Amino acid sequence: MAKKTQGKKNGVHNSAVTELEGEVPVVGMREPCPCGSGRRYKACHGREASKAVSAPNRPFQGFASECDIVAMRELVPSATAELTLNPGVGDGRKVTLATVLPMAYPALVRANGDILLGLQINTGSGDPSRDLANALQRALTTPHGEPVGLERVSTDSPPAQDLIDASEVLDVVVHENFDFWMDEEAELSDEVKASLERASEYANPTLKLESIAAGYWTQMGEKEHLRWIMSTPENELLNALARLHAVQEDSIGPDTRLVGMFRAQGLIVPVWDIPLGRGAAAIEEPAAEFGKRLASALKLSQPLSDAERRARSGLTSRQVTLRDV
């Protein structure tokens, strides 16, 4: 049973805070919270579970594919990427990074010993890098064919960079569905089938652009967007975007618009609106051209003009932090 109460967070009243009586069912981070609040689990009852450990501002910093890892954790519904472990870790075991796993498990060990690591878990220490490493450590000692359950992660747990080859550039494969969950040697339980159906229901169509690094097209209802994860320092990136916006060179094609940006795991993610029906292929070349303009703007060091300062102020006012939405 659930009941709604009045709440206040960060100085803003929230009339849809819902309290659950009993244990919250296990669902994916991006799925609706079982309490009925209408918010995603990670922004509702999953929020309290992520405060045990003080996380670094950029928990995946040092990975060559930091931006794609953040995208897989925060943006992309279904994707995988094969990992290489550091010497002495895993003894040659095949390990695949995944966005989300059935029942929101942090890891699964297939019948043949292959390991799937999930980034989008319900609960954690507050440091997703340590959570990932902890799941990997436990998966390496879990019997074949078994899931790895949720566990509180302490500050003594190593970060993922200690176990996984951070220098490797990941080949991220975005999937249309969650068929990668399937194990030919195991039959899906009713619970896993239900989890598969829930995950598929709330997965927005998503594609990774080939012409740029860590750029992801998605369609959400009647809107299309490009969300481009960037590791450029925030102040430098804002200045460069402001310079381009002031001279109307910040689009990625006709009728597209840079609408703002958000923060995710310490990185900035600019977002463009795209006319419905245009699709990912049509913005490949314009996005690459914008990337060149952005690179040139990043090299400029002179003070911002009045128009550029106004553009920067507008961009700053349209920033949000992903974990809060």
Assess contact for 72 and 214: CB atoms under 8 A.
no
Tens of pLDDT, residues 68-94? 999 999 999 999 999 999 999 988 899
pLDDT at 17: 38
pLDDT at 191: 76
Please compute the mean of the pLDDT values over residues 31-35 and round it to a whole number. 78
Task: State the pLDDT confidence band at 309, using cuts at 50, 70 and 90.
Answer: very high
Out of 20-29, 236-245, 314-323, least confident range? 20-29
Q: Which residues face 98 on adjacent strands?
A: 80, 118
| Cα separations in angstroms, 1 against 4, 15, 31, 43, 49 | 10, 18, 19, 20, 21
Provide the mean pLDDT of the chain: 85
Residues of the chain with pLDDT > 70, as a percent, come to 83
pLDDT at 190: 76
Q: 89-103, 138-152, 169-183, 271-285 — which one is most confidently predicted on average?
A: 271-285
Task: Return contacts of 233-236, CB within 8 angstroms, 24+ apart.
Answer: 234/268, 236/298
pLDDT surpasses 90 at 142: yes
Please compute the mean of the pLDDT values over residues 124-148 and round it to a whole number. 92
pLDDT at 64: 98
9, containing H or E segment: strand 2-9
> What residues contact residue 43 under an 8 Å CB cut-off, 6+ apart?
33, 323, 324, 325
Task: State the pLDDT confidence band at 132, using cuts at 50, 70 and 90.
Answer: very high
pLDDT surpasses 60 at 35: yes
Task: State the pLDDT confidence band at 15, using cuts at 50, 70 and 90.
Answer: very low
In 3D space, the residue among 285, 130, 114 whose CA is nearest the CA of residue 210 turns out to be 285
Which of the pair, 61 or 198, is modelled with greater confidence?
61
Tens of pLDDT, residues 156-177? 789 999 999 999 999 999 999 9
CATH of domain 206-324: 3.30.1460
Please compute the mean of the pLDDT values over residues 112-127 and round it to a whole number. 86
pTM value is 0.81
CA distance 60 to 170: 13
CA distance 170 to 240: 27
pLDDT at 124: 67
Assess contact for 145 and 186: CB atoms under 8 A.
yes
Task: State the pLDDT confidence band at 6, using cuts at 50, 70 and 90.
Answer: very low
Task: State the pLDDT confidence band at 269, using cuts at 50, 70 and 90.
Answer: very high
pLDDT at 16: 40
pLDDT at 10: 36
Task: State the pLDDT confidence band at 320, using cuts at 50, 70 and 90.
Answer: low
- CA angle at residue 35 from 146 to 71, to 5 degrees? 60
Q: Where are the alpha helices (DSSP H) in 85-189?
A: 128-139
CA distance 121 to 132: 9
pLDDT surpasses 60 at 264: yes
Domain ranges of the chain: 66-201, 206-324
CA distance 19 to 4: 6
